[in-house]
């Protein structure tokens, strides 16, 4: 029987997790919410050492120390452009850990049954164990593939081969059969086979996903991991795991749906669209069509005499690490009397909130960051839109070209502004792999070069006006 004080402590940790999630909903409270959640997690991990008679304590402490060191070093050294793959990697490790714990618990169940001669567990415990094993394995394998795609360890394009739908359906059906066997004929070897099937499903699920769809799959797999942790909490009789896993699962599910809506597509289309040619494709060839380009001095004149400017940041801004230079440019324009805002698309970058975090790192006032729905009506009254490292989120093909993979995705209406300036390294397309007709609009001017270098020259030119 779990002591009362432990139950109360776990309840307090669960409440802290809920408050932490609430804090993460806003930029002003995000840091304190994150610290509160981390502190509650530490307390929840320490509590078992205080009331349980644990075996192999030195090995447990060594494992905790190694994991802590790897996590701390990895989180501190990761670049902002690599944040999505770090999230995928850490999430996959969580799913894999949940699956391993469930396998160990299944072995314990079988041992207890063999010793007592009767089965002290009801069918739902075995069902929750099977669910944790298979879905945890799916999350681990799928997250490993998304990490490889984002880290350029494999092609970011959808990987489709003949017979993939049949292989996926067969693996899924086999997993259902083995899950039933886990409930009816609990045995460790059945659980191991179930885990292998889960790994296969995870790989086959993510292979057909490519391009700008990959971050959405990361969010979906994050929800999977949360659900496995919740199910594992039920198996272990651990309230804090049950609550924390449910929170992660629910939040990941809602985030996945919101991101899919922001792209104007369904989750099913994102997962399986490549099988019929409907997925974002990732790579593309650079266009050789003529465009209007200019130097920093010409763009500085446009900005210097504009009454209203909107900045559209994208992944290229993160790659160039140019957010600090951009903030300084905006401050100089503001001092000259120019009204400047940042237009934030929900899927700009490689994960939700990527641009918000990037600009917050540069101490950009949150009041200047405006979401797509709030700022789209202002583009018609805007003198200059400065697009820094973004592409697909301002691509008119989303509204005008039914054959485009991003068709139906809500975009920022940059094409409605009086003048558009693109800061681009080259004429290569964005993550969706399609040409952006806005680049060839008569109102559009391109400033080629690394974003940090271009913004530095542009800043100097504006100051010289």
Same domain, 321 and 416: yes
Q: What is the number of structural domains in the chain?
A: 2
Chain CA centroid to CA 114, Å: 44
Of 207, 242, 276, the residue at which a domain comes to its end is: 276
Answer yes or no: is 265 within a domain.
Answer: yes
Q: Is the pLDDT of residue 58 over 80?
A: yes
Which are the contacts of 8, defined by CB distance < 8 A and separation ≥ 6?
Answer: none
Same domain, 305 and 261: no
Q: Is the pLDDT of residue 73 over 80?
A: yes
Give the C-alpha distances (Å, rounded to integers) separating 109 from 125, 242, 317.
10, 20, 53
**114 flagged as catalytic:** no
Q: What is the pLDDT of residue 290?
A: 76
Q: What is the pLDDT of residue 284?
A: 55
Of 245, 276, 307, the residue at which a domain comes to its end is: 276
- Stretch 49-69: mean pLDDT: 90
Answer yes or no: is 27 within a domain.
Answer: no
Same domain, 411 and 369: yes
- Stretch 54-66: mean pLDDT: 91
Same domain, 241 and 348: no
Which CATH number covers residue 364?
3.40.50.1220
Residue 421: which of 334, 281, 326, 284 has the closest Cα? Answer: 326
Q: Is the pLDDT of residue 282 over 50?
A: no
Domain range for 243 is: 78-276
Region of poorest pLDDT, from 75-89, 98-112, 166-180? 75-89
Q: What is the pLDDT of residue 288?
A: 63
Percent of the chain with pLDDT over 90: 46
Same domain, 104 and 158: yes
Give the C-alpha distances (Å, rounded to integers) separating 280 from 212, 273, 442.
6, 8, 27
Q: Is the pLDDT of residue 279 over 90?
A: no
What CA–CA distance (Å, rounded) separates 9 from 188? 33
Beta bridge partner(s), residue 270: none
Answer yes or no: is 65 within a domain.
Answer: no
pLDDT-derived band at 275 (thresholds 50, 70, 90) equals: low
More confident residue, 28 or 454: 454
pLDDT-derived band at 379 (thresholds 50, 70, 90) equals: very high
Q: HEC string of the chain?
A: CCCHHHHHHHHHHHHHHHHHHHHCCCCCCHHHHHHHHHHHHHHHHHHHHHHCCCCCHHHHHHHHHHHHHHHHHHHHHCCHHHHHHHHHHHHHHHHHHHHHHHHHHHHHHHHHHHHHCCCCCCHHHHHHHHHHHHHHHHHHHHHHHHHHHHCCCCCCCCCCCCCHHHHHHHHHHHHHHHHHHHHHCCCHHHHHHHHHHHHHHHHHHHCCCCHHHHHHHHHHHHHHHHHHHHHHHHHHCCHHHHHHHHHHHHHHHHHHHHHHHHCCCCHHHHHHHHHHCCCCCCCCCCCCCCCCECCHHHHHHHHHCCCEEEEEECHHHHHHCCHHHHHHHHHHHHHCCCEEEEEECCCCCCCCCHHHHHHHHCCCCHHHEEEHHHHHHHHHHCCEEEEECCCHHHCCHHHHCCCCCCCCCCCCCHHHCCEEEEEECCCCCCCCCCCCHHHHCCCEEEEECCHHHHHHHHHHHHHCC
- The string of pLDDT tens digits covering residues 293-339 is 889 999 999 998 899 999 999 888 888 888 999 999 999 999 989 99
Residue 415: which of 387, 388, 449 has the closest Cα? Answer: 387
The strands making up 384-388's β-sheet, listed across from edge to edge, are: 369-371, 339-344, 308-313, 384-388, 419-424, 444-448
Given the residues 152, 298, 383, 392, the one annotated as active site: 392
Q: What is the pLDDT of residue 37?
A: 93
Same domain, 102 and 233: yes
The 10 Å Cβ neighbour count of residue 372 is: 18
Percent of the chain with pLDDT over 70: 94
- The string of pLDDT tens digits covering residues 16-26 is 999 998 888 77
397-425 CB burial, b ≥16 within 10 A, e <16: bbbeeeebbbbebbbbbbbbbebbbbbbe
Same domain, 226 and 308: no
- The string of pLDDT tens digits covering residues 184-230 is 887 889 999 999 999 999 999 998 887 667 878 888 999 999 999 99
Q: What is the pLDDT of residue 40?
A: 94
Mutual angle of helices 451-463 and 323-335, in 10-degree steps: 20
Same domain, 265 and 302: no
- The string of pLDDT tens digits covering residues 89-125 is 999 999 999 999 999 998 888 777 777 666 677 888 8
Answer yes or no: is 17 within a domain.
Answer: no
Same domain, 161 and 228: yes
Q: Is the pLDDT of residue 429 over 80?
A: no
Q: What is the pLDDT of residue 117?
A: 64
Q: Is the pLDDT of residue 353 over 80?
A: no
| pTM, 2 dp | 0.80
What CA–CA distance (Å, rounded) separates 154 from 4? 51
Same domain, 300 and 418: yes
Of 276, 310, 330, the residue at which a domain comes to its end is: 276
Q: What is the pLDDT of residue 292?
A: 86
Q: What is the pLDDT of residue 198?
A: 95
Answer yes or no: is 312 within a domain.
Answer: yes
Same domain, 140 and 232: yes
Half-sphere exposure (CA, 13 Å, Cβ side) for 116? 10
Answer yes or no: is 31 within a domain.
Answer: no
Q: What is the pLDDT of residue 108?
A: 83
Q: Is the pLDDT of residue 5 over 50?
A: yes
Q: Mean pLDDT of all residues in the chain?
A: 87
Beta bridge partner(s), residue 341: 310
**What token pair was written down for 214?**
């990959």
Answer yes or no: is 284 within a domain.
Answer: no
Same domain, 271 and 150: yes
pLDDT-derived band at 285 (thresholds 50, 70, 90) equals: low
Answer yes or no: is 392 within a domain.
Answer: yes
Which are the contacts of 187, defined by CB distance < 8 A and separation ≥ 6?
Answer: 110
What CA–CA distance (Å, rounded) separates 78 from 74? 6
């Amino acid at each position: 029987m779990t002591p009362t004080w432990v139950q109360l402590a776990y309840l307090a940790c669960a409440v802290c997790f809920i408050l932490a999630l609430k804090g993460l909903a806003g930029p002003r409270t995000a840091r304190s919410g994150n610290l509160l959640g981390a502190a509650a997690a530490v307390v929840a991990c320490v509590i078992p050492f205080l009331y349980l008679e644990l075996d192999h304590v030195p090995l447990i402490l060594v494992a905790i120390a190694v994991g802590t060191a790897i996590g701390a070093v990895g989180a501190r050294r990761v670049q902002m452009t690599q944040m999505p793959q770090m999230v995928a990697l850490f999430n996959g490790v969580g799913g894999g850990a949940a699956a391993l714990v469930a396998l160990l618990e299944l072995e314990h169940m079988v041992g207890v049954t063999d010793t007592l001669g009767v089965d002290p567990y009801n069918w739902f415990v075995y069902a929750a164990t099977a669910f944790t094993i298979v879905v945890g394995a799916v999350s681990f394998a799928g997250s490993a593939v998304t990490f490889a795609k984002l880290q350029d360890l494999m092609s970011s394009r959808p990987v489709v081969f003949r017979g993939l739908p049949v292989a996926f359906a067969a693996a899924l059906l086999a997993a259902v059969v083995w899950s039933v066997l886990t409930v009816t004929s609990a045995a460790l070897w059945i659980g191991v086979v179930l885990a292998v099937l889960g790994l296969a499903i995870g790989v086959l699920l993510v292979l057909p996903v490519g391009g700008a769809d990959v971050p959405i799959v990361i969010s979906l797999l994050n929800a999977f991991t949360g659900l496995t942790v919740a199910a594992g909490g039920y198996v272990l009789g651990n309230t804090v795991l049950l609550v924390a896993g449910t929170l992660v699962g629910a939040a990941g599910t809602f985030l996945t749906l919101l991101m899919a809506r922001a792209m104007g597509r369904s989750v099913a289309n994102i997962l399986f669209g490549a099988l019929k040619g409907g997925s974002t494709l990732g790579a593309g060839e650079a266009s050789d069509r003529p465009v209007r380009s200019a130097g920093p001095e010409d763009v500085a004149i446009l900005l210097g005499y504009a009454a209203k400017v909107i900045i559209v940041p994208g992944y290229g801004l993160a790659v160039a690490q140019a957010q600090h230079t951009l903030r300084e440019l905006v401050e100089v324009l503001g001092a000259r009397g120019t009204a400047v805002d940042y237009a934030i698309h929900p899927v700009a970058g490689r994960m939700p909130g990527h641009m918000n975090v990037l600009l917050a790192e540069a101490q950009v006032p949150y009041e200047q960051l405006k979401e797509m729905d709030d700022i789209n009506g202002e583009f018609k009254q805007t003198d200059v839109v400065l697009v820094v490292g973004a592409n697909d989120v301002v691509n008119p093909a989303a509204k005008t070209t039914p054959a485009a993979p991003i068709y139906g995705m809500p975009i920022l209406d940059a094409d409605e502004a009086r003048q558009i300036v693109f800061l681009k390294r080259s004429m290569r397309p964005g993550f969706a792999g399609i040409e952006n007709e806005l680049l060839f609009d008569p109102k559009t001017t391109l400033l080629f070069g690394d974003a940090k270098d271009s913004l530095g020259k542009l800043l100097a030119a504006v100051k010289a006006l």
